[in-house]
Every structure is written in structure tokens, then in C-alpha cells.
Amino acid sequence: MVKQEVEVIHLWSSPRSFSTSLMYAFAQRDDTEVLDEPLYANYLQVTGEQTPYREELLSKWESDGNKVIQEIIFAPGEKKYRFVKLNLEQRQMGANDFRWESGPKPFDGVWPFPSSMYNLLDQSLPLYNLLRCYIRGSSNCAQPELPVSTNEKLLLWVGDQIMPRESAKVSVFDSIVQGGDGVWEGLRIYNGKIFKLEEHLDRLFDSAKALAFSNVPTREQVKEAIFKTLIKNEMFNNVHVRLTLTRGKKVTSGMSPTFNQYGCTLIVLAEWKPPVYDNEKGIVLVTATTRRNSPNNLDSKIHHNNLLNNILAKIEGNNAHADDAIMLDKDGYVSETNATNIFLVKKGCVATPHSDYCLPGVTRATVIDLAVNENLVMVERRISLSEFHTADEVFTTGTMGELSPVSYS
């Protein structure tokens, strides 16, 4: 048999349950041999302690701990990796090489790392990080409270598979990280049906086309991902879906879409989420100084993830303790809020700004249709701020918050 080099993985850890679970995780691998507490035999020999499995253990290991260590480190075997688990007592009772003061050490963590073990590190780190969160008294992983606690356990679609909330991640090479280079839709589920799904998908695919995405999943593939995610989560009501399509992962960091050679990344993030505004009491708006993007620079008809324009306005809204902020176009006419379309009613006539500077919202289109069907006077036109200030009624529209009356603070 051809003997290959064995890489020994040394792991010092406490509490013991932590290293034991890691050891058993490694034991599942065909290429890894685990050695559980090789110095324990020495410890039992020296102390004479009577413990369960004492005889079994003594028969398995040489009584001379040092000899055991020599063998572990130097003996080549058939496996590629050898995982040696030592526990606290053994460190204290074992050879000098394995003795050290308790407490954290500056060299704890991943040391200058042999590249031959890169794949093993890549595979082990998620499990290590997960287990690290369960260290008693650890504040590293303290989680903030979620607005809706049932969203703690979600299944999300990323790429081409479903995964749990904490594992659902995109690569740092993804265009969405590099440049906010993605398109998105917000969907709402009512009684097991997705409201205006086809209209949302039309806008998603139009946005992707306007941004010249390539290797875009088909409409059927996107639908399948949405339905599978909703079914796996048993979500049929009171649910909002953030559907994102990024230009995908790049082969190297950089702006050019020529680096995007993996195809688009599809994300289906479904959450339990009641409408986000108080639609009984109404919402308070403030007018932001940040102007809404014009088609001269970034066309608001593309529903893209580069949301800084709206986020700056939202910050102004937050600073004024308002629910959202009205954004004006470059000439000072109202376009929309940072997150919704806006309507006014004056003397029975309904009006909303042209969609030159605002997103042509799906809810906006629905309200326009309803108004027309009700034979109301419905106009799309330039509307100034003072017309909103003097309107009989103002309301906003959007998938996330539905229809929200605007009230005076």
C-alpha cells in the first residue's frame, strides 16, 4: 500500500463538549483518522484513577504518553489528516510540550496556514463558527432582537438551493457586494397567492435587461425558486418576499461585467412581515433635501439595488422622526417618497406624479386602475409640494406597506 503524508491537526479547546463535537465531525470524513484523548491512558496510569472504560482505554494506548505523542506525530498512515483531541487534564498531566497556562493566547485562531490544508479550513470553518456561538458567556454572537421573532428560523433561496437563515450568504465577489449591481422586487402573499406576480416579474426582467445582465434564470426558474421557498417555510399569508437577482459572482473584484462569468445569483428572502406602516393612524412624512435620481443619471424605471439615493433621503426622514421622506425631482416637483409612490386627492380628483423620477410601482398602477374603474378623475402630472400641503387627502402606495394615509404630525 502506498503510504501518504499525514497532516496532523492540533486542536486545543475547552469546554470538552466543543472539541468532542468537532472530533466527531471530523470522524465522518473518509480521509481523516481521529485520535481521542491519546494521553488519557498515561493520565490513568499515573493517577491510578478508576474510571469507566479504564481497561479498554489502557489496552488501546501505550502507557507512556510521550511515546504515544511521538507515534501520533511521526507515524505515517493511510489517511490524509489525523485529528488529535486532547482535553484539559491531559494537557496538565501530559508531556511538557502539551503544558501551558490557562486563558486566551495571542496566537489563538488560524495560524500562518499551510496552503495544503486550505480546503479543510474552508470546509471546517462554518462548523467552527457555528459552534463558537454556543460558547457559554460568549458575547461574540449576541443577537439583536428581531422585529418579528418567528423570522429567526427561515429557509432562504440563494443561487440554486435552499438554506437556513444563518448559512444564506453571497460571495464577497458577488456584484451586489462590489457595486450594488442587482435588481429586486418586493412581493406580498395573500391567502396563498402572490399579489401581481406577473407584473413584478415583468419589472424584474425588464430591469435586468436594461442593465444588460447575462445568464439570467428563466421566468419559470424564478417562479419555482419562489414557490419552493414559500412552501418549505409554510408561508401562505402575512408574508413579504424580497426577490433579488444580482449580476452574479465575479472572477476578480472590479467594475466590468466582463468579470461576471458565473451567471446571475438569485435570492428569495421570504419573511413573516405584516404591513410596515400604521395604516389606521397614518404616517408622517418630511420633505428631504436629497433629490430623486433623474433619468439623466440613473433611471428610476430600473428597480436596482443601488439604493443610496433613497437611503440618504430615509436618513433625513429618520432624523426628523418621520416615517419616510418625500423626494423632489430636479425642478422641485414631488416624485415619490424614499420607499413608496405618492397620491393626493383634491376636490374628488386623484393625482400622482408622472413616473419620470419615481419607480412605476405595481401598487401605484393598481390604484390608478381602480380609480379609473370607479370613474374617478385620475391624472398623472407634475405636482408641486404646496399642492400636497393643501390636498384633501394624501396617501402612499407600495407592496411593503400597502396603502398608507399621510397624517399631519
Ligand X SMILES: Cc1ncc(COP(=O)(O)O)c(C=O)c1O
Q: Interface residues with ligand X (CB under 6 A)?
A: 186, 310, 336, 339-341, 359, 361-364, 397-399
Q: Which is nearer to ligand X, 94 or 361 (CB)?
A: 361
3-class secondary structure, 161: strand
Q: Cβ closer to ligand X: 6 or 226?
A: 226
Closest CB to ligand X among residues 29, 242: 242
What is the distance between the alpha carbons of residues 168 and 160, in angstroms, rounded to a whole number?
11
| Residue 70 three-state SS | helix
Separation between Cα atoms, residue 181 and residue 309, nearest integer Å: 14
Whose Cβ is closer to ligand X: residue 124's or residue 366's? 366
Q: Report the nearest approach of ligand X to the CB of residue 345 (Å).
A: 18
Closest CB 230 distance from ligand X, rounded Å: 18
Least distance in Å: CB of 254 to ligand X?
28
The residue among 73 and 311 lying less far from ligand X, judged by its C-beta, is: 311
Matching residue, cell 408561508: 235
The DSSP annotation for 233-269 comes to TT--SSEEEEEEEE--BBSSSSS-GGGB-S--EEEEE
| β-pairing verdict for 377-380 and 161-164 | unpaired
Cβ atoms 87, 11 nearer than 8 A: no
Nearer to ligand X, 37 or 336 (CB): 336
CB of 377 to ligand X, least distance (A): 22
Pairing of strands 193-194, 182-190: antiparallel
Name the residue nearer to ligand X (CB basis): 37 or 316. 316
Smallest separation (angstroms) from ligand X to the CB of 188: 8
For 256-267, give one letter per residue: b (16+ CB within 10 A) or e: ebebbebbbbbb
Shortest Cβ 29–ligand X spacing (Å): 46
Q: Which of 373, 288, 274 is nearest to 325 (CA)?
A: 288
Phi and psi torsions of 182, nearest 5°:
-160, 170
What is the closest distance, in whole angstroms, from the C-beta atom of residue 398 to ligand X in the complex?
Answer: 4
Smallest gap from residue 295 Cβ to ligand X (A): 15
Which residue's CB is nearer to ligand X, number 22 or number 359? Answer: 359
Closest approach, Cβ 202 to ligand X, in A, equals 11
Omega prior to 15 cis, within 30 of 0: yes
Residues 6+ apart with CB under 8 A from 72: 8, 35, 38, 82, 84
Q: With respect to ligand X, which residue has the nearer C-beta, 85 or 364? A: 364
Distance CA 326, CA 312 (A): 12
How far apart are CB 303 and ligand X at their closest, in Å? Answer: 7
Of 246 and 310, CB closest to ligand X: 310
Distance from chain centroid for Cα 8: 35
C-alpha cell at 193: 397567492
CA proximity to 298, closest of 257, 358, 247, 342:
358
